Copies of this chain bind each other. A is one copy, B any other.
Amino acid sequence: MSAANEWLYLDYAATTPLDPNVAERMREVRQTSFANPASNHAAGRLSATVVDQAGVQLAELLNTDPGRFLWTSGATESNNLAITGVAKQRSHLGRHLVTMRTEHKAVVDVFRALEKQGFDVSWLLPDADGQLSVEQFEAALRDDTQLVSIMHVNNETGCFQDIATLGGICRTRGITFHVDGAQAAGKVPVDLEALPVDLYSMTAHKFYGPKGVGALYIADGTVIEPLMFGGGQQRRLRPGTLAVELIAGLGAAAAESASRLETDLLHLTALKQQLLLGIETIEGVCVNGPKSGAYPGILNVSVADIEGESLLLALEPLCVATGSACNSQSQEPSYVLRALGRSDMEAQSAVRFSLGRPTSKADIARAIDLYRAAVVKLRSIAPGHTT
């Protein structure tokens, strides 16, 4: 295994390092406010103000009220809580739910579990770019549809869904609309005041905050059932001692993101352009996801006639994702790319480059070289490609 400093980490969509300002804020909080924010004494109240402040920071980033967030352990929990919470809460009104085939596992598997409990789930397919068409969406809605869950930015391709339009349709029909924003919050502008969204999931470690903490935005008037019980914390919707330091970290990460969202996006856009230019000259390379308009921090490419596992090893010390981003342990070709119409062969060679704040032009140049060299090497080995 290579030493850490030789690696070239381009897997920022899986997780990001902690921002130094965030780390500093957490250190401060650890020293001054370790008490339980629910404790009825002065130390507890100080911790409570720390939590409140983080709420304000997150609310500023997403343009909403601080009182609308639940603190969770991450987007997986937020998604589970939102989706199961609404499905159960509204099950007496109907049992039809709508989502997409290209959602993250933390949405897909929740709906699968609900299917086993007798809910009826419509699984929508996107077009070849990953986009869900509004017509197809409307056609899927029924009188007994209670919940729609559509992700904001796809974790494998960076493709955006038009959640403003989809949410608007849900609102006119009285359908609860959940958005998995794990790849959007803190990374692209999100305006929860303007968006017709009832529930929005996020996780701090995707935007340079700590791992193990996330949030669920719940719009006024949206009612959900809790997933866990115990203690009166968080309006009984999510009990457990609040992780003050982590929540402060999430807040600080939100503040940091708010102040540099545009800068980050410009930086990533330039890098993605550089990467794309360098890579698309390689014969047989094709981009997975939209040709334009995708989130600039993600570039997913397949390459003809290359075996994926060997590609990954040949790419070392480049740290990139293959297969499903967040659980790369399974070597199955990505179900997301297959839903986009990619063949198994194309999907299994897919590599997701995801770029971040620390990524430099030199890193991208090195990544291009490594990728090209790996492809050339594996092609030279393959039967039928030798000269």
Chain A contacts to B: CB under 8 angstroms:
1-2, 4, 7, 9, 11, 14-18, 23, 30, 32-36, 38-46, 72-77, 79-80, 104-110, 112-113, 203, 205, 210-213, 227-233, 239-246, 312, 316-323, 326-331
| The residue from B42, B106, B233 contacting A239, defined by CB atoms under 8 A apart | B106
A104 in complex: contacting residue of B36, B42, B109, B230, CB < 8 Å: B230
Chain B residues within 8 Å of A329, by CB = 38, 40, 232
Q: Is the interface of A mostly helix, strand, loop or mixed?
A: loop
Q: Which of B15, B33, B36, B106 contacts A36 (CB 8 A)?
A: B15
User: Are B319 and A39 closer than 8 Å at their CB atoms?
Assistant: yes
User: In whole angstroms, how far apart are the Cα atoms of A244 and B35 in the complex?
Assistant: 23
Q: Tell me, in angstroms, the Cα distance from A213 to B79 when the chains sit together.
A: 19
Identity of the chain B residue whose Cβ is nearest the Cβ of A206 in the assembled complex: B241
* 6 A–B contacts, CB within 8 A, in A order: A11-B43, A14-B36, A41-B316, A76-B228, A104-B230, A232-B329
Q: Which of A16, A43, A112, A227 has the most CB of B within 10 A?
A: A43
A30 & B18 in contact (Cβ 8 Å cutoff)? yes
CB distance from A3 to the nearest CB of B (A): 9
Minimum CB distance partner of A104 in chain B: B230
Q: Give A77 to B239 CA distance when docked, in angstroms.
A: 9
Contact B42 A319 (CB under 8 A): yes
Q: Do B326 and A36 touch across chains, with their CB atoms under 8 A apart?
A: yes
A322 vs B212: C-alpha distance when bound (angstroms): 30
Known contacts A40-B331, A110-B230; 9 additional CB pairs below 8 A are A1-B45, A4-B33, A14-B36, A40-B321, A41-B312, A41-B321, A80-B230, A205-B243, A227-B227
| Complex partner residue of A79 from B230, B322, B323, CB under 8 angstroms | B230
Contact partners of A242 in chain B: CB under 8 A: 211
Instruction: Report Cα–Cα, A316/B42, bound state, in Å.
Output: 8
Residue of B with least CB distance to A227:
B227
A71 to chain B, nearest CB (A): 9
> B46–A34 contact, CB under 8 A?
no
Complex contact A319–B43 (CB within 8 A): yes
Provide the residues of chain B in CB contact with A240, threshold 8 Å. Answer: 73-77, 106
A183 CB to closest chain B CB, in angstroms? 13
Q: A336 CA to B45 CA in the complex, in Å? A: 24
**Could you tell me the distance between the alpha carbons of A144 and B311 in the complex, rounded to whole angstroms?**
55
Contacts of A2 in B (CB 8 A): 42
Query: Does A11 contact B30, Cβ atoms closer than 8 Å?
Result: no
Q: Contacting A211 at CB < 8 Å: which of B77, B227, B243?
A: B243
Please give the distance in Å from A43's CB to the nearest CB on chain B. 5
Interface contact A4-B23, CB-CB below 8 Å: no
